[in-house]
A and B are shown apart, each in its own frame.
Chain A
Amino acid sequence: MPMRHIISVLLENESGALSRVSGLFSARGYNIESLTVAPTEDASMSRMTIVTRGSEDVIEQIVKQLNKLIEVVKVVDLNEGSHLERELMLVKVKAQGESREELKRMSDIFRGRIIDVADSTYTIELTGNGAKLDAFLEALDTSVILETVRTGACGIGRGERILKV
Chain B
Amino acid sequence: MNDIANFKNTLTSSFTDFEKSLNGQSKQPLHSIRKEALANFEQAEFPNLKNEEWRYTNISPLLKHSFNPLPAVLPLMYDDIQQFLLGDTFNHVMVFVNGRFDENLSKINNLPDGLIVKSIATDVEEDDPNVLEHFGKYALSEGQIFTSLSAAYTFDGAFVHVQEGKIIEDPIHLLFIADARKDKALIQPRNLFIADKNSQASVLEHFVSLSEDIYFTNTITEIVVGENTYFDHVKLQEESKRAFHISRTVIDQELSSNFTSHAISLGGDICRNDINSKFNDKGGECTINGLFLLDDSQLCDTHTLIDHAQPHCNSHEHYKGILDDKSRGVFNGKVIVRPDAQKTNAFQENNNIILSNEALINTKPQLEIFADDVKCSHGATIGQLDKEAMFYLKTRGIGEDIARAMLLHAFASDVIKTIKLLPVRDYVEAILTKKFNQ
Whether both chains belong to one complex is answered with no
